Structure formats: structure tokens, C-alpha cells
């Protein structure tokens, strides 16, 4: 005997449609899309480059540089939280087809076809500040990661600030257990918050390299040396490098690896090839003779040659957890 009346079947179909619609609506809650300008795709011929921002107040010149290199195409901003405040800010800095913000709030929607299409169609992409732990937890190993990486072949300029900067190098500090201070890291290089990761992105000129932000402002030299010591001890690369940038400052890297500085403050380029002399859980770090180049606003730095002009070269060591430098008055920065 048929268990359903003629009226029950349409009701079941309607119920299925409503449940499906509700599931889709729930998925949409895990990402937001905001646009100024055309939501349709435009094709331009972008010029590759990287805009590395150290956090704090944004550097107008960095976004103008990215807009110019985008060829006036679609400028996409990625976030895991926050608002669409970048849209009007970027839109007023230059001529673009659109400025689009995607707020991707979960790993589940990092496979959403709409999200992936918007990223792949970008002529410039910028990863905002926030929590880099969310970027790794939500995006690593998903189509979002693949879509961002695809922009390298497209020669679209890519940038990031603060947490967005933290995920641009081959190696990274994902802050999965919150941040760590220089004091705590130097006292114990195996502090529970000293967690390192790698292979989220593979961007030109940022191989074998880790980035850091808010550098002088938050006194992060010590923790960066610990990051390098841990990676070197673990054999991540024969030569390890770092780019560390202070707030309100941008390092702009063209396709040939030539870097210039924008904004108010300084950036630091570190290079290590030796292992730490002493690195033991619970004991202060000892790590000597690390090369540092401080780039000032008037200077340049060639990432291929790892040489700068117009800046200052010095060396820094860690002796039993204490920083020592070759600069006058033992200045760290």
C-alpha cells in the first residue's frame, strides 16, 4: 500500500527544497562578499609584485602601487573576520574595475565556487590583518590556498599587512596559541607558543624566508631570532632569511626582486646560515653572528643578491637570552 497521499508528495518535495535552501543560506553566513564597482570579471594585464606591510595605519602608496600594477582590474581583499572598510579606502586611491572584500569565516566555505572564482579573477589581491591562525586553520590545504597561488602565474600583485603579512613567506609563525613575546621566546626557545609552519604559499622571492610585522613597535627582534634558530636547527633550509617590517611601513618588491620602502619607518632583512650554539627546552637561547640590514626610507634592497643600498648593515647575537649587536650603544634596531 502506498504510504503517501497525493497531497503528501508535493509537501515532501517542498520540505526538501526548504531544507536545501536553509543549508545554502547557512553556508553563506560563513562568508561575506562586498563590492564597490562592477561585480563582473574584467581582464587586464597585471604586472607581478609584492606589497609587504608591517601593520598599523595603512600606507596609501603601497595600495596605489598595487593598483597601478593591477592594470586597473579587480582588486580583491581577503579576510577571516572584520568589515569591508578596505573597499572605499582602496577605491579612492586609484582607478580600478572593482574592489571586492571576501570574509571567509570557516574551512567549509573555503571550497565555495563563488569564493574561488572571485579570488582567481583578481588582478590584485591583499590579505588584511586579523588572526593568521584563522588564515591557516580556514584556508591552508583548501581551494582558497590554490586560488591565491594561481595568481602568481597571472602576475597579479599580492600583498598583506600584519597577520596578512605573516602568511606570505614560505615559513611562518601561525600564532595558533596566540602571540609570543621576545622575552618569553628568548628565555625558552621551545615555549609552547613558539609554533612554526610552512608551505602555505610559494611567492616569488619569499622562499626560505619568514616575515614579521609591528617589528620595532612591539620589540620582536628576539622572537624572530628564536624562529630562525628553531627552523635552522630543524634543517628547514641551508640559508634562512627574514623580512621584518615596522608599523606604517611597506616593502614593495617588483618582479625582479628589487625592493623599495614606503611609509614612515624601517624594515629589516636578516640572513643566517649557521645553527644556534645552544638551544634547549627551558634554557635561554645562544645564537651568534646573524647578519642584519636595516632599510631606511631612502634605501633599496635586492632580494636576489640579498644586498641593500642606503641602509645600515650590522650583526646581532644572542648570548644566554640577551641581545648583543655591533651597533653603537648596543642598539638592537
14: pLDDT strictly greater than 90: no
Q: For residues 32 and 83, what is the distance between their CA atoms, to the nearest angstrom?
A: 9
Nearest to 213, CA basis, from 284, 266, 253, 170: 266
pLDDT number for residue 199 = 96
Q: Are 36 and 88 contacting, i.e. CB atoms less than 8 angstroms apart?
A: yes
Cell of 156: 597579479
Please name the residues in contact with 50: beta carbons below 8 A apart, sequence gap of 6 or more.
157, 158, 159, 168, 203, 204, 205, 206, 251, 252, 253
1: pLDDT strictly greater than 50: no
pLDDT number for residue 98 = 98
pLDDT number for residue 220 = 98
pLDDT interval class at 28 (50, 70, 90): low
Where is pLDDT greater, at 317 or 28? 317
Nearest to 130, CA basis, from 102, 93, 90, 98: 102
17: pLDDT strictly greater than 80: no
Note the pLDDT tens digit of each residue in 270-323.
999 999 999 999 999 999 999 999 999 989 999 999 999 999 999 999 999 999
Note the pLDDT tens digit of each residue in 165-178.
999 999 999 999 99
pLDDT number for residue 86 = 98
Amino acid at each position: 500500500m502506498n504510504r503517501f497521499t497525493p497531497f503528501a508528495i508535493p509537501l515532501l518535495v517542498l520540505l526538501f527544497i526548504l531544507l536545501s535552501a536553509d543549508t545554502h543560506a547557512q553556508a553563506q553566513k560563513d562568508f561575506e562578499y562586498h563590492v564597490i564597482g562592477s561585480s563582473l570579471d574584467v581582464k587586464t594585464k597585471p604586472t607581478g609584485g609584492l606589497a609587504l606591510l608591517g601593520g598599523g595605519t595603512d600606507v596609501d602608496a603601497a595600495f596605489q602601487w598595487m593598483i597601478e600594477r593591477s592594470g586597473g582590474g579587480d582588486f580583491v581583499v581577503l579576510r577571516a573576520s572584520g568589515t569591508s572598510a578596505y573597499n572605499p579606502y582602496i577605491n579612492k586611491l586609484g582607478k580600478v574595475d572593482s574592489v571586492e572584500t571576501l570574509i571567509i569565516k570557516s574551512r567549509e566555505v573555503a571550497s565555495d565556487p563563488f569564493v574561488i572564482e572571485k579570488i582567481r579573477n583578481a588582478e590584485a589581491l591583499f590579505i588584511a590583518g586579523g588572526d593568521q591562525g584563522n588564515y591557516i586553520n580556514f584556508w591552508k590545504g583548501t581551494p582558497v590556498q590554490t586560488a591565491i597561488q594561481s595568481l602568481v602565474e597571472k602576475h597579479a600583485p599580492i600583498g598583506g599587512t600584519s597577520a596578512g603579512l605573516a602568511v606570505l613567506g614560505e615559513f611562518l609563525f601561525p600564532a595558533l596559541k596566540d602571540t609570543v613575546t621576545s622575552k618569553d621566546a628568548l628565555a625558552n626557545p621551545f615555549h609552547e607558543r613558539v609554533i612554526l609552519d610552512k608551505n602555505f604559499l610559494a611567492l616569488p622571492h619569499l622562499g626560505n624566508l619568514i616575515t614579521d610585522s609591528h617589528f620595532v613597535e612591539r620589540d620582536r627582534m628576539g622572537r624572530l631570532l628564536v624562529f630562525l634558530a628553531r627552523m635552522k636547527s630543524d634543517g628547514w633550509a641551508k640559508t634562512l632569511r627574514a623580512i621584518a617590517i615596522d608599523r606604517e611601513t611597506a616593502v614593495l618588491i617588483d618582479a625582479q626582486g628589487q625592493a623599495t620602502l614606503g611609509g614612515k619607518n624601517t624594515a629589516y632583512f636578516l640572513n643566517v646560515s649557521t645553527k644556534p650554539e645552544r638551544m634547549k627546552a627551558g634554557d635561554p637561547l645562544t645564537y651568534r653572528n646573524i647578519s642584519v640590514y636595516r632599510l631606511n626610507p631612502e634605501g633599496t634592497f635586492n632580494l636576489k643578491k640579498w644586498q641593500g643600498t642606503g641602509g645600515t648593515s650590522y650583526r646581532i647575537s644572542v648570548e644566554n637570552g640577551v641581545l648583543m649587536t655591533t651597533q653603537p650603544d648596543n642598539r638592537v634596531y
